[in-house]
A and B are shown apart, each in its own frame.
Chain A
Amino acid sequence: MHEYSLVQALVTRVEEEARRRGALAVHRLSVRVGELAGVDAELFRTAYQTFRAGTICENAPLDVKQVAATWSCPRCDGPIPRGAILRCAACDQPARLDEGSDALMLDGIEMEVP
Protein backbone atom coordinates (compact mmCIF):
# COMPACT_ATOMS: atom_id res chain seq x y z
CA MET A 1 0.00 0.00 0.00
CA HIS A 2 2.91 2.33 -0.50
CA GLU A 3 1.05 3.66 -3.53
CA TYR A 4 -0.54 6.21 -1.22
CA SER A 5 2.75 7.57 -0.04
CA LEU A 6 3.93 7.71 -3.64
CA VAL A 7 0.86 9.66 -4.68
CA GLN A 8 1.44 11.98 -1.77
CA ALA A 9 5.00 12.60 -2.96
CA LEU A 10 3.68 13.13 -6.48
CA VAL A 11 1.01 15.66 -5.53
CA THR A 12 3.41 17.51 -3.25
CA ARG A 13 5.87 17.81 -6.11
CA VAL A 14 3.17 19.03 -8.52
CA GLU A 15 1.97 21.62 -6.01
CA GLU A 16 5.50 22.84 -5.60
CA GLU A 17 5.96 23.17 -9.35
CA ALA A 18 2.60 24.90 -9.75
CA ARG A 19 3.46 27.37 -7.03
CA ARG A 20 6.84 28.06 -8.57
CA ARG A 21 5.23 28.88 -11.91
CA GLY A 22 2.24 30.66 -10.47
CA ALA A 23 -0.10 28.19 -12.15
CA LEU A 24 -3.86 28.76 -11.94
CA ALA A 25 -4.71 25.12 -12.44
CA VAL A 26 -3.22 21.78 -13.25
CA HIS A 27 -4.81 20.05 -16.24
CA ARG A 28 -3.03 16.77 -16.56
CA LEU A 29 -0.25 14.70 -15.08
CA SER A 30 1.83 12.13 -16.90
CA VAL A 31 3.70 9.47 -15.02
CA ARG A 32 5.67 6.47 -16.14
CA VAL A 33 5.60 3.24 -14.20
CA GLY A 34 7.95 0.44 -15.11
CA GLU A 35 6.96 -3.14 -14.57
CA LEU A 36 9.72 -3.52 -11.99
CA ALA A 37 9.03 -0.24 -10.22
CA GLY A 38 7.26 -2.09 -7.46
CA VAL A 39 4.09 -0.16 -8.12
CA ASP A 40 0.75 -1.46 -9.20
CA ALA A 41 -0.56 0.96 -11.82
CA GLU A 42 -4.22 0.35 -10.96
CA LEU A 43 -3.59 0.84 -7.27
CA PHE A 44 -1.64 3.95 -8.08
CA ARG A 45 -4.59 5.36 -10.05
CA THR A 46 -6.99 4.53 -7.24
CA ALA A 47 -4.72 6.14 -4.69
CA TYR A 48 -4.53 9.21 -6.89
CA GLN A 49 -8.32 9.44 -7.21
CA THR A 50 -8.60 9.41 -3.45
CA PHE A 51 -5.72 11.61 -2.63
CA ARG A 52 -6.14 14.42 -5.14
CA ALA A 53 -9.35 15.73 -3.53
CA GLY A 54 -8.75 19.18 -2.15
CA THR A 55 -5.40 19.57 -3.89
CA ILE A 56 -4.43 21.45 -7.02
CA CYS A 57 -4.68 18.13 -8.84
CA GLU A 58 -8.35 17.75 -8.02
CA ASN A 59 -9.47 18.06 -11.64
CA ALA A 60 -6.35 16.82 -13.33
CA PRO A 61 -6.54 13.42 -14.98
CA LEU A 62 -3.58 11.12 -14.51
CA ASP A 63 -1.93 9.43 -17.48
CA VAL A 64 -0.05 6.36 -16.44
CA LYS A 65 2.32 4.99 -19.03
CA GLN A 66 3.30 1.45 -18.23
CA VAL A 67 6.64 0.13 -19.38
CA ALA A 68 7.36 -3.57 -19.69
CA ALA A 69 10.53 -4.79 -18.02
CA THR A 70 13.29 -5.98 -20.30
CA TRP A 71 16.86 -7.06 -19.69
CA SER A 72 19.74 -7.09 -22.10
CA CYS A 73 23.42 -7.82 -22.28
CA PRO A 74 25.59 -4.81 -21.46
CA ARG A 75 28.18 -6.03 -23.95
CA CYS A 76 26.35 -7.29 -27.02
CA ASP A 77 23.03 -5.56 -26.32
CA GLY A 78 21.25 -8.80 -27.05
CA PRO A 79 17.94 -9.17 -25.25
CA ILE A 80 17.62 -11.63 -22.38
CA PRO A 81 14.46 -13.68 -22.93
CA ARG A 82 11.74 -13.04 -20.41
CA GLY A 83 11.99 -15.33 -17.43
CA ALA A 84 15.45 -16.57 -18.36
CA ILE A 85 18.55 -16.58 -16.21
CA LEU A 86 19.70 -12.96 -16.06
CA ARG A 87 22.97 -13.56 -17.79
CA CYS A 88 24.02 -13.29 -21.41
CA ALA A 89 24.85 -16.81 -22.48
CA ALA A 90 27.08 -15.59 -25.30
CA CYS A 91 29.10 -12.98 -23.41
CA ASP A 92 28.85 -14.45 -19.91
CA GLN A 93 27.78 -11.09 -18.58
CA PRO A 94 25.21 -10.28 -15.93
CA ALA A 95 22.17 -8.73 -17.56
CA ARG A 96 21.43 -5.04 -17.46
CA LEU A 97 17.95 -3.75 -16.78
CA ASP A 98 16.80 -1.64 -19.70
CA GLU A 99 15.82 1.94 -19.18
CA GLY A 100 12.31 2.52 -18.00
CA SER A 101 11.85 -1.01 -16.70
CA ASP A 102 11.84 0.16 -13.10
CA ALA A 103 10.93 3.79 -13.77
CA LEU A 104 8.71 5.64 -11.39
CA MET A 105 8.74 9.04 -12.98
CA LEU A 106 6.77 12.20 -13.13
CA ASP A 107 7.20 12.92 -16.81
CA GLY A 108 5.21 16.09 -17.15
CA ILE A 109 2.48 18.41 -15.97
CA GLU A 110 0.09 20.41 -18.08
CA MET A 111 -0.67 23.55 -16.20
CA GLU A 112 -2.55 26.71 -16.86
CA VAL A 113 -0.58 29.85 -16.30
CA PRO A 114 -1.89 33.44 -16.22
Chain B
Amino acid sequence: MCTTCGCGDPEIVPVELHEKILAGNDRAARHNREHFLEAGVLALNLMGSPGAGKTAVLEATAKAAAAKGWRLGAVSADLATDNDAVRLERAGIPSKAITTGQACHLDAELVHRSLHGFPWQETDVFFIENVGNLVCPAIYDLGQRANVVVLSVTEGEDKPLKYPVMFKVADLVLLTKCDLVPHLDVDLAKVHDAIARVMPRPRVVEVSARTGAGIDRWVAWLEELRRPITRPAVPRPHTHSAGESAHRDGSGGTDHAAAHPHAHEHEHVHEHVHAHGGTAHSHPHAHEHAHGHRHDSAGDVHEHGLGMHAHAGDGERSHDHAHASAARTPAPIRRATGRAPLERKVKRSSGRPAPGKPPARKKAARKPPRARRR
Protein backbone atom coordinates (compact mmCIF):
# COMPACT_ATOMS: atom_id res chain seq x y z
CA MET B 1 0.00 0.00 0.00
CA CYS B 2 1.01 3.62 -0.34
CA THR B 3 3.20 4.63 2.56
CA THR B 4 2.18 8.29 2.36
CA CYS B 5 -1.58 8.08 2.70
CA GLY B 6 -2.27 4.40 3.08
CA CYS B 7 -4.24 4.09 -0.15
CA GLY B 8 -4.12 1.09 -2.43
CA ASP B 9 -3.67 -2.58 -1.69
CA PRO B 10 -0.70 -3.78 0.21
CA GLU B 11 1.72 -5.60 -1.98
CA ILE B 12 2.90 -8.45 0.03
CA VAL B 13 5.34 -10.52 -1.90
CA PRO B 14 6.19 -14.01 -0.80
CA VAL B 15 9.85 -14.61 -1.49
CA GLU B 16 10.78 -18.27 -1.64
CA LEU B 17 14.37 -18.84 -0.65
CA HIS B 18 14.85 -22.35 0.74
CA GLU B 19 18.31 -21.38 1.76
CA LYS B 20 20.46 -22.75 4.54
CA ILE B 21 20.57 -20.38 7.46
CA LEU B 22 24.24 -21.26 7.79
CA ALA B 23 24.95 -20.61 4.12
CA GLY B 24 27.39 -17.86 5.09
CA ASN B 25 29.33 -20.19 7.33
CA ASP B 26 29.31 -22.87 4.66
CA ARG B 27 30.85 -20.43 2.19
CA ALA B 28 33.59 -19.55 4.63
CA ALA B 29 34.14 -23.26 5.27
CA ARG B 30 34.52 -23.96 1.55
CA HIS B 31 37.10 -21.24 1.47
CA ASN B 32 39.04 -22.80 4.32
CA ARG B 33 38.71 -26.21 2.74
CA GLU B 34 40.22 -24.96 -0.48
CA HIS B 35 43.22 -23.59 1.37
CA PHE B 36 43.76 -26.84 3.21
CA LEU B 37 43.48 -28.84 0.01
CA GLU B 38 45.77 -26.53 -1.91
CA ALA B 39 48.43 -26.74 0.76
CA GLY B 40 48.07 -30.49 1.06
CA VAL B 41 47.16 -30.24 4.72
CA LEU B 42 44.85 -32.78 6.33
CA ALA B 43 42.60 -30.69 8.55
CA LEU B 44 40.49 -32.33 11.21
CA ASN B 45 37.79 -30.96 13.45
CA LEU B 46 38.15 -32.50 16.88
CA MET B 47 35.02 -32.27 18.97
CA GLY B 48 33.81 -33.64 22.27
CA SER B 49 32.65 -32.78 25.76
CA PRO B 50 34.83 -30.75 28.06
CA GLY B 51 37.23 -33.20 29.64
CA ALA B 52 36.68 -35.95 27.08
CA GLY B 53 40.40 -36.03 26.39
CA LYS B 54 40.78 -34.05 23.18
CA THR B 55 44.00 -32.39 24.20
CA ALA B 56 45.39 -35.55 25.77
CA VAL B 57 44.80 -37.52 22.58
CA LEU B 58 46.70 -34.90 20.62
CA GLU B 59 49.55 -35.02 23.10
CA ALA B 60 49.69 -38.78 22.65
CA THR B 61 49.46 -38.38 18.88
CA ALA B 62 52.52 -36.14 18.82
CA LYS B 63 54.91 -38.98 19.56
CA ALA B 64 53.42 -41.37 17.03
CA ALA B 65 53.31 -38.66 14.38
CA ALA B 66 56.92 -37.74 14.97
CA ALA B 67 57.87 -41.34 14.29
CA LYS B 68 56.15 -41.01 10.92
CA GLY B 69 57.83 -37.73 10.13
CA TRP B 70 54.55 -35.84 10.14
CA ARG B 71 54.43 -32.30 11.29
CA LEU B 72 51.39 -31.50 13.33
CA GLY B 73 49.77 -28.21 14.11
CA ALA B 74 46.72 -27.21 16.07
CA VAL B 75 44.43 -24.41 16.93
CA SER B 76 42.73 -24.98 20.20
CA ALA B 77 39.51 -23.27 21.22
CA ASP B 78 38.21 -22.56 24.66
CA LEU B 79 36.05 -19.85 26.11
CA ALA B 80 39.03 -18.62 28.09
CA THR B 81 42.73 -19.37 28.71
CA ASP B 82 45.32 -20.70 26.32
CA ASN B 83 46.09 -23.66 28.57
CA ASP B 84 45.39 -26.29 25.93
CA ALA B 85 47.58 -24.58 23.35
CA VAL B 86 50.35 -24.39 25.94
CA ARG B 87 49.96 -28.08 26.65
CA LEU B 88 50.14 -28.93 22.97
CA GLU B 89 53.20 -26.75 22.45
CA ARG B 90 54.84 -28.54 25.31
CA ALA B 91 54.05 -31.83 23.57
CA GLY B 92 55.79 -30.55 20.47
CA ILE B 93 52.73 -29.49 18.47
CA PRO B 94 52.90 -25.88 17.30
CA SER B 95 49.62 -24.45 18.50
CA LYS B 96 47.57 -21.37 18.75
CA ALA B 97 44.77 -20.66 21.16
CA ILE B 98 41.43 -19.34 20.01
CA THR B 99 39.55 -17.83 22.89
CA THR B 100 35.93 -17.60 21.90
CA GLY B 101 34.68 -15.49 24.78
CA GLN B 102 31.08 -16.59 25.24
CA ALA B 103 30.78 -18.48 22.00
CA CYS B 104 30.13 -22.16 22.51
CA HIS B 105 31.55 -23.31 19.19
CA LEU B 106 33.95 -22.42 16.44
CA ASP B 107 32.70 -21.20 13.11
CA ALA B 108 34.52 -21.15 9.81
CA GLU B 109 35.28 -17.47 10.02
CA LEU B 110 36.94 -17.81 13.41
CA VAL B 111 39.06 -20.64 12.10
CA HIS B 112 40.00 -18.63 9.06
CA ARG B 113 41.11 -15.74 11.18
CA SER B 114 43.12 -18.03 13.41
CA LEU B 115 45.08 -19.27 10.42
CA HIS B 116 46.59 -15.88 9.81
CA GLY B 117 50.01 -15.64 11.30
CA PHE B 118 50.13 -19.33 12.00
CA PRO B 119 52.28 -21.61 9.83
CA TRP B 120 49.52 -24.11 9.19
CA GLN B 121 50.72 -24.63 5.61
CA GLU B 122 53.83 -26.27 6.97
CA THR B 123 51.88 -28.96 8.73
CA ASP B 124 50.91 -32.36 7.46
CA VAL B 125 48.04 -32.82 9.85
CA PHE B 126 46.28 -29.82 11.29
CA PHE B 127 43.91 -30.25 14.19
CA ILE B 128 41.16 -27.83 14.98
CA GLU B 129 40.38 -28.59 18.58
CA ASN B 130 36.88 -27.28 19.01
CA VAL B 131 35.30 -25.84 22.12
CA GLY B 132 34.44 -28.59 24.58
CA ASN B 133 30.77 -29.03 23.80
CA LEU B 134 28.84 -31.97 22.42
CA VAL B 135 26.08 -29.87 20.88
CA CYS B 136 26.77 -26.66 19.00
CA PRO B 137 30.05 -27.40 17.20
CA ALA B 138 28.35 -30.18 15.26
CA ILE B 139 26.46 -27.87 12.94
CA TYR B 140 29.31 -25.60 11.90
CA ASP B 141 31.40 -26.75 8.99
CA LEU B 142 34.92 -25.41 9.42
CA GLY B 143 36.46 -26.64 6.19
CA GLN B 144 37.86 -29.78 7.76
CA ARG B 145 38.44 -33.01 5.91
CA ALA B 146 36.81 -35.05 8.64
CA ASN B 147 35.10 -34.78 11.98
CA VAL B 148 36.52 -36.69 14.91
CA VAL B 149 34.37 -36.99 17.99
CA VAL B 150 36.18 -37.73 21.21
CA LEU B 151 34.10 -39.67 23.70
CA SER B 152 35.52 -40.92 26.96
CA VAL B 153 34.47 -44.15 28.61
CA THR B 154 33.59 -42.25 31.75
CA GLU B 155 30.81 -40.33 30.05
CA GLY B 156 28.19 -43.04 30.10
CA GLU B 157 27.24 -45.74 27.65
CA ASP B 158 24.22 -43.89 26.32
CA LYS B 159 25.95 -40.59 25.67
CA PRO B 160 25.74 -41.03 21.88
CA LEU B 161 21.97 -41.53 22.12
CA LYS B 162 21.67 -38.27 24.03
CA TYR B 163 23.69 -36.27 21.52
CA PRO B 164 22.74 -37.75 18.15
CA VAL B 165 23.49 -34.60 16.16
CA MET B 166 27.15 -34.75 17.06
CA PHE B 167 27.54 -38.41 16.23
CA LYS B 168 25.61 -38.04 12.99
CA VAL B 169 28.38 -35.81 11.64
CA ALA B 170 31.25 -37.86 13.03
CA ASP B 171 33.57 -39.65 10.65
CA LEU B 172 35.37 -41.30 13.52
CA VAL B 173 34.71 -41.71 17.20
CA LEU B 174 37.76 -41.87 19.42
CA LEU B 175 36.78 -43.71 22.55
CA THR B 176 39.23 -42.39 25.09
CA LYS B 177 40.43 -43.29 28.56
CA CYS B 178 40.04 -46.99 27.82
CA ASP B 179 42.69 -47.75 30.42
CA LEU B 180 40.01 -46.91 32.99
CA VAL B 181 37.58 -49.57 31.81
CA PRO B 182 38.64 -52.16 34.43
CA HIS B 183 37.80 -49.63 37.13
CA LEU B 184 34.39 -48.68 35.77
CA ASP B 185 31.02 -50.29 35.36
CA VAL B 186 31.05 -49.54 31.70
CA ASP B 187 30.19 -52.08 29.04
CA LEU B 188 32.01 -51.11 25.87
CA ALA B 189 29.67 -53.23 23.78
CA LYS B 190 26.85 -50.95 24.87
CA VAL B 191 28.81 -47.89 23.83
CA HIS B 192 29.37 -49.39 20.40
CA ASP B 193 25.72 -50.29 20.15
CA ALA B 194 24.66 -46.75 21.03
CA ILE B 195 27.03 -45.31 18.44
CA ALA B 196 25.58 -47.59 15.75
CA ARG B 197 22.14 -46.13 16.47
CA VAL B 198 23.19 -42.56 15.77
CA MET B 199 25.99 -42.99 13.26
CA PRO B 200 25.16 -44.76 10.01
CA ARG B 201 28.79 -45.67 9.31
CA PRO B 202 30.06 -46.33 12.78
CA ARG B 203 33.81 -46.22 13.10
CA VAL B 204 35.34 -46.29 16.51
CA VAL B 205 38.92 -46.46 17.69
CA GLU B 206 39.47 -47.28 21.33
CA VAL B 207 42.45 -45.47 22.77
CA SER B 208 44.17 -44.56 25.94
CA ALA B 209 46.25 -41.43 25.76
CA ARG B 210 47.82 -42.41 29.03
CA THR B 211 49.09 -45.85 28.07
CA GLY B 212 49.30 -45.21 24.35
CA ALA B 213 47.02 -48.16 23.60
CA GLY B 214 45.19 -47.78 20.30
CA ILE B 215 47.08 -44.68 19.25
CA ASP B 216 48.64 -46.68 16.42
CA ARG B 217 45.18 -47.44 15.03
CA TRP B 218 44.19 -43.80 15.28
CA VAL B 219 47.36 -42.80 13.46
CA ALA B 220 46.65 -45.47 10.83
CA TRP B 221 43.26 -43.87 10.28
CA LEU B 222 44.92 -40.49 9.85
CA GLU B 223 47.35 -42.01 7.42
CA GLU B 224 44.55 -43.44 5.37
CA LEU B 225 42.98 -39.98 5.13
CA ARG B 226 46.25 -38.33 4.35
CA ARG B 227 47.18 -40.67 1.57
CA PRO B 228 45.11 -39.10 -1.20
CA ILE B 229 46.07 -35.57 -0.26
CA THR B 230 48.60 -34.05 -2.58
CA ARG B 231 50.97 -31.43 -1.42
CA PRO B 232 51.73 -28.91 -4.15
CA ALA B 233 55.31 -28.30 -5.25
CA VAL B 234 54.91 -24.61 -4.64
CA PRO B 235 52.07 -23.71 -2.32
CA ARG B 236 50.12 -20.78 -3.51
CA PRO B 237 50.59 -17.85 -1.20
CA HIS B 238 47.67 -16.90 0.90
CA THR B 239 47.22 -13.20 0.71
CA HIS B 240 44.27 -12.26 2.82
CA SER B 241 44.83 -9.54 5.28
CA ALA B 242 43.89 -10.33 8.81
CA GLY B 243 40.24 -9.94 9.47
CA GLU B 244 39.30 -9.86 5.85
CA SER B 245 36.03 -11.54 5.24
CA ALA B 246 35.44 -11.39 1.55
CA HIS B 247 33.58 -14.64 1.68
CA ARG B 248 31.03 -13.28 4.08
CA ASP B 249 29.45 -10.94 1.64
CA GLY B 250 29.19 -13.45 -1.10
CA SER B 251 31.11 -11.34 -3.56
CA GLY B 252 34.26 -12.01 -5.38
CA GLY B 253 35.58 -15.46 -5.85
CA THR B 254 34.09 -16.93 -2.81
CA ASP B 255 32.57 -20.03 -4.15
CA HIS B 256 35.41 -22.39 -4.37
CA ALA B 257 33.29 -25.43 -4.64
CA ALA B 258 34.09 -25.87 -8.29
CA ALA B 259 37.64 -24.70 -8.08
CA HIS B 260 39.07 -27.78 -6.55
CA PRO B 261 37.11 -30.68 -7.74
CA HIS B 262 37.72 -33.89 -5.97
CA ALA B 263 41.29 -33.56 -4.97
CA HIS B 264 40.94 -36.72 -3.07
CA GLU B 265 40.49 -39.99 -4.70
CA HIS B 266 39.33 -43.32 -3.64
CA GLU B 267 42.35 -45.07 -4.91
CA HIS B 268 43.14 -46.38 -1.50
CA VAL B 269 40.30 -48.81 -1.57
CA HIS B 270 42.45 -51.78 -2.25
CA GLU B 271 45.54 -50.70 -0.54
CA HIS B 272 44.88 -51.93 2.87
CA VAL B 273 45.09 -55.39 4.11
CA HIS B 274 42.36 -56.65 6.25
CA ALA B 275 43.76 -58.02 9.38
CA HIS B 276 41.16 -60.63 9.85
CA GLY B 277 40.74 -62.34 6.59
CA GLY B 278 43.71 -62.05 4.36
CA THR B 279 43.84 -59.99 1.26
CA ALA B 280 41.61 -61.80 -1.12
CA HIS B 281 38.18 -60.99 0.03
CA SER B 282 35.90 -58.99 -2.10
CA HIS B 283 34.77 -55.57 -1.06
CA PRO B 284 31.06 -55.73 -0.82
CA HIS B 285 30.95 -52.07 0.04
CA ALA B 286 32.64 -50.86 -3.07
CA HIS B 287 29.37 -49.73 -4.56
CA GLU B 288 28.82 -47.32 -1.75
CA HIS B 289 31.25 -44.83 -3.03
CA ALA B 290 30.83 -45.65 -6.64
CA HIS B 291 27.92 -43.28 -6.55
CA GLY B 292 26.56 -40.71 -4.31
CA HIS B 293 29.69 -39.82 -2.47
CA ARG B 294 29.86 -36.27 -1.38
CA HIS B 295 33.00 -34.48 -2.23
CA ASP B 296 32.06 -31.37 -0.44
CA SER B 297 32.20 -32.79 2.96
CA ALA B 298 33.93 -35.30 5.02
CA GLY B 299 31.22 -37.73 4.22
CA ASP B 300 33.23 -39.48 1.61
CA VAL B 301 35.76 -40.62 4.10
CA HIS B 302 35.62 -43.94 3.06
CA GLU B 303 34.69 -46.90 4.79
CA HIS B 304 35.95 -50.28 4.16
CA GLY B 305 35.80 -51.56 7.43
CA LEU B 306 35.49 -54.80 8.73
CA GLY B 307 32.47 -53.29 10.11
CA MET B 308 30.86 -53.64 6.75
CA HIS B 309 31.11 -57.24 5.86
CA ALA B 310 31.00 -58.41 9.40
CA HIS B 311 27.40 -57.38 9.43
CA ALA B 312 26.41 -59.67 6.67
CA GLY B 313 24.04 -62.21 7.94
CA ASP B 314 24.67 -62.06 11.60
CA GLY B 315 22.32 -59.33 12.45
CA GLU B 316 22.39 -56.77 15.08
CA ARG B 317 24.89 -58.28 17.43
CA SER B 318 27.61 -57.70 14.95
CA HIS B 319 27.51 -54.06 15.82
CA ASP B 320 29.02 -54.78 19.08
CA HIS B 321 32.41 -55.43 17.79
CA ALA B 322 34.95 -52.70 17.70
CA HIS B 323 34.73 -51.78 14.08
CA ALA B 324 37.91 -49.93 14.07
CA SER B 325 40.12 -52.16 16.02
CA ALA B 326 40.84 -54.48 13.20
CA ALA B 327 39.63 -52.50 10.26
CA ARG B 328 42.05 -49.74 10.84
CA THR B 329 45.03 -51.90 10.27
CA PRO B 330 47.56 -49.80 8.44
CA ALA B 331 48.70 -50.80 5.03
CA PRO B 332 52.02 -52.41 5.57
CA ILE B 333 52.43 -53.47 1.98
CA ARG B 334 51.94 -51.78 -1.31
CA ARG B 335 49.07 -52.40 -3.56
CA ALA B 336 49.04 -55.62 -5.43
CA THR B 337 49.86 -54.05 -8.77
CA GLY B 338 53.08 -52.73 -7.37
CA ARG B 339 52.36 -49.42 -8.96
CA ALA B 340 52.23 -46.37 -6.82
CA PRO B 341 49.42 -44.03 -7.75
CA LEU B 342 50.42 -41.06 -9.81
CA GLU B 343 49.64 -38.66 -7.04
CA ARG B 344 52.20 -40.16 -4.85
CA LYS B 345 54.91 -39.90 -7.41
CA VAL B 346 54.14 -36.26 -7.77
CA LYS B 347 54.27 -35.81 -4.08
CA ARG B 348 57.56 -37.55 -3.69
CA SER B 349 59.24 -35.75 -6.49
CA SER B 350 58.01 -32.39 -5.35
CA GLY B 351 59.31 -32.63 -1.87
CA ARG B 352 59.33 -29.89 0.63
CA PRO B 353 59.93 -27.17 1.48
CA ALA B 354 59.07 -25.15 -1.56
CA PRO B 355 62.00 -24.13 -3.72
CA GLY B 356 63.59 -20.99 -2.50
CA LYS B 357 61.84 -21.20 0.79
CA PRO B 358 64.15 -21.64 3.71
CA PRO B 359 63.06 -24.30 6.13
CA ALA B 360 62.49 -21.72 8.77
CA ARG B 361 61.25 -23.11 12.01
CA LYS B 362 60.18 -20.85 14.73
CA LYS B 363 59.84 -23.53 17.26
CA ALA B 364 62.86 -25.35 18.45
CA ALA B 365 60.75 -28.40 18.98
CA ARG B 366 59.96 -28.73 15.32
CA LYS B 367 61.86 -31.08 13.21
CA PRO B 368 63.47 -30.11 9.96
CA PRO B 369 61.69 -31.34 6.91
CA ARG B 370 62.59 -34.74 5.74
CA ALA B 371 61.40 -37.32 3.37
CA ARG B 372 58.26 -38.80 4.67
CA ARG B 373 58.15 -42.41 5.37
CA ARG B 374 55.26 -44.54 4.62
A37-B165, A104-B22 given; A87·B13 CB < 8 A? no
Least CB distance, B116 to chain A, in whole angstroms: 22
What CA separation (Å) do A5 and B295 show in the bound complex? Answer: 27
B17 and A5 contacting across the interface, CB-CB below 8 Å: no
In the complex, which residue of chain B has the Cβ closest to the Cβ of A93?
Answer: B288
What CA separation (Å) do A54 and B139 show in the bound complex? Answer: 28
B14 interface contact, C-beta 8 A: yes
Residues of B within 8 Å of A67, CB to CB, are none
Residues of A within 8 Å of B193, CB to CB, are 85
A77 interface contact, C-beta 8 A: no
Residues of B within 8 Å of A36, CB to CB, are 164-165, 168
Partner pick for B135 among A27, A38, A71, CB 8 A cutoff? A38
A94 and B288 contacting across the interface, CB-CB below 8 Å: yes
A86-B198, A94-B200, A96-B200 given; A114·B17 CB < 8 A? no
Q: Which of A23, A96, A97, A102 has the most CB of B within 10 A?
A: A102
Q: Which residues of A from 31 to 54 have beta carbons under 8 Å from B?
A: 31, 36-39
What CA separation (Å) do A96 and B319 show in the bound complex? Answer: 17
B3 interface contact, C-beta 8 A: yes
What CA separation (Å) do A93 and B12 show in the bound complex? Answer: 47
A110 and B197 contacting across the interface, CB-CB below 8 Å: no
A21 and B15 contacting across the interface, CB-CB below 8 Å: yes
Residues of A within 8 Å of B24, CB to CB, are 9, 12-13
A76 interface contact, C-beta 8 A: no
Residues of A within 8 Å of B199, CB to CB, are 86
Residues of A within 8 Å of B312, CB to CB, are 92
Residues of B within 8 Å of A56, CB to CB, are none
A5-B107, A10-B21 given; A104·B139 CB < 8 A? yes
Least CB distance, A13 to chain B, in whole angstroms: 7
The chain A residues found within 8 Å of chain B, CB to CB, are 1-2, 5-6, 9-10, 12-13, 17, 21, 23-24, 27, 31, 36-39, 69, 71, 74, 83-87, 89, 92-97, 102, 104-114
The chain B residues found within 8 Å of chain A, CB to CB, are 1, 3, 10-25, 102-105, 107, 135-136, 138-140, 164-166, 168, 193, 196-202, 284, 288, 292, 303, 308, 311-312, 315-316, 319
Subset of 27 A-B contacts with CB under 8 Å: A2-B103, A2-B136, A2-B140, A9-B21, A9-B25, A13-B24, A17-B15, A21-B13, A23-B13, A36-B164, A37-B139, A38-B135, A83-B197, A85-B193, A86-B196, A86-B198, A86-B199, A87-B311, A94-B303, A96-B200, A109-B15, A110-B13, A110-B15, A111-B13, A112-B1, A112-B11, A112-B12
